[in-house]
Amino acid sequence: MKESGNSERYSARGAGAQLLPWVAKSTAAFIDQLLTSGSNFLGTILLARWLTASQYGAYAMAFSVFLLLSSVHVSLLIDPMPIFGPSVYRDCRRAYLGLLLWIHGGFSLLFTVLLAGSSLIFYHLGPTKGLGGGLAGPLAGLALAVPWVLLLSITRQAFYIEQSPGSAAAGAGIYSVLVCSGLFLAYRNGALSPFTAFVILAFAALVSSVLLVLRLKPALKPATNGLTLREVWEDHWKYGRWAWATSTMRWIPANIAYLLTGGLLGMADVGALKALLNLLLPFSHTAVSVSRVFQPYLSGVFGREGGLSTRSPVERVTLVFLAGGTLYGALLILLRKPIFGLLYGGKFVEFLHLVPWVALGAILIGTSYGPSAGLKAIQSPASVFVAYAAASAVSVVFTFLAVRFFGLAGAIAAFVLSSATVLIVSSVLFRRKVADENKPAASYDLSGSTVSS
């Protein structure tokens, strides 16, 4: 009995010793995401407090352009990394990372040229109503920031492939400190503007990413270990093209309102729109994290039991998101005055009456993560694309008309309508997909009539 007790004790210790590294890695990954998302959110709020409404609107429009460019980079370079890095290229990771950095350099050059050229065009347009000279500075700053911010994303992802999220968290920590301190110093010295904000992002990302690259030591010679640039690019393109198409469709309903509001109303209204939609960020980040927890479970159910068996768990997941969104929306409505005071220091209070519509958007967006996760679980990414494409079409048409006739309230209404479109279309497509799987296949007799098999 004593020997049995000792063996159980040693077994428990062994299991604990095996579990401890995974707990540490999970904690480091959480800290990495918290630092990155937290610093970006805090920076957005500080800029809303410290910039004028027009300046903040110009920053918001330039940042929406960054999100569009980032979606290309993330879909084709970063998202495929955890797929191919530990598998196809596990024996030549340094060479693989080096080739990815070359591809990143090509993207960075293209993005920088496009942004710098756009900045010059807006500079020559002059300060006209809506879109005009106010975008020249932010786009110039963004041209400096994009290569380094995206490089930081690649290097952080590379450490996840190496099973070393702690190093990624360290890089995120350096970036967060530099961004927040840089914005504060610029504000104290009267130098804060949309242009300097992006320059601060560029500097913070440059320092952080260079330190991470030095630690990773990628092989930068193109033909190392027989690996070719074309081979890596083809693998990433085949995997990431659907994700790119989907992310582009997701960008349109989330950001087209900034462009149309700026063109039809002006930069100050863009700043107010950004201040309102900032209220969604804590919930949306939480919803994404929760969906990542549920996604492997739903995929496992599909793998074991087929598509029809995913219907019940997807419905339960959707109810969880609905409950979370409703609770968050209710808190936004009830606490909107103190929330605006805390975040914006008394600015934008004239738009408090629009917060209930933003809360409705939070409920719709959150609930849509349920059927979207179901479509991903049954391996139907094209259906997710269709849902967001429908929302994009609705958003482009309705936002233009709504903003033209109803101003900022119309922009918020268009956002709510596009969110409802995603929820409705993704729900219908998921139900159809799992229902079609359960239908018996049809066969034909010699006379041509249909017979159920």
Give DSSP secondary structure letters for 8-23. Answer: HHHHHHHHHHHHHHHH
Predicted pLDDT at 21 = 61
Measuring CA to CA, how many Å separate 222 from each of 88, 125, 130, 442?
Answer: 17, 42, 46, 53
User: Can you tell me the distance from the alpha carbon of 71 to that of 138, in angstroms, rounded to the nearest whole number?
Assistant: 19
The two tokens of residue 414 are 């268009």
DSSP state of 442: E
Concatenate the DSSP letters of all residues of 92-141 into one string: GHHHHHHHHHHHHHHHHHHHHHHHHHHHHHHHHH-S-SSSSGGGHHHHHH
Query: Is residue 65 within 8 Å of residue 142, measured between CB atoms?
Result: yes
Please identify every stretch of the chain with a pLDDT value under 50, giving residue numbers as ranges. Answer: 10, 12, 15-16, 129-130, 440-453
pLDDT of residue 368: 92
The pTM (predicted TM-score) of the whole model is: 0.80
* Burial (CB count within 10 angstroms: exposed 0-12, middle 13-18, buried 19+), residue 22: exposed
Q: What local confidence, expressed as pLDDT, does residue 452 receive?
A: 39
Tokens 């409802």 sit on residue = 420
Exposure letters 431-446 (e unless 16+ CB within 10 A, then b): eebbeeeeeeeeeeee
Both structure tokens of 190: 């009267």
In this structure, what is the dihedral angle of CA atoms 262, 140, 249, 204, given to the nearest 10 degrees?
Answer: -120
Is the distance from CB of 130 to CB of 264 less than 8 angstroms?
A: yes
Tens of pLDDT, residues 23-47:
666 677 677 777 887 888 889 999 9
Q: Which residues are CB-contacts of 250 (< 8 A; sequence separation ≥ 6)? A: 71, 388
* pLDDT at residue 449, as a whole number: 44
Chain segment 180-210, per-residue pLDDT in tens: 999 999 999 999 999 999 999 999 999 999 9
The Cα–Cα gap between 37 and 217 comes to 26
pLDDT at 144: 96
* Encoded tokens for 264: 């039809």
The secondary structure of residue 193, as a DSSP letter, is -
Beta pairing partners, 34: none
For residue 12, the tally of other CB atoms under 10 A from its CB is 10
Residue-level pLDDT at 12 = 47
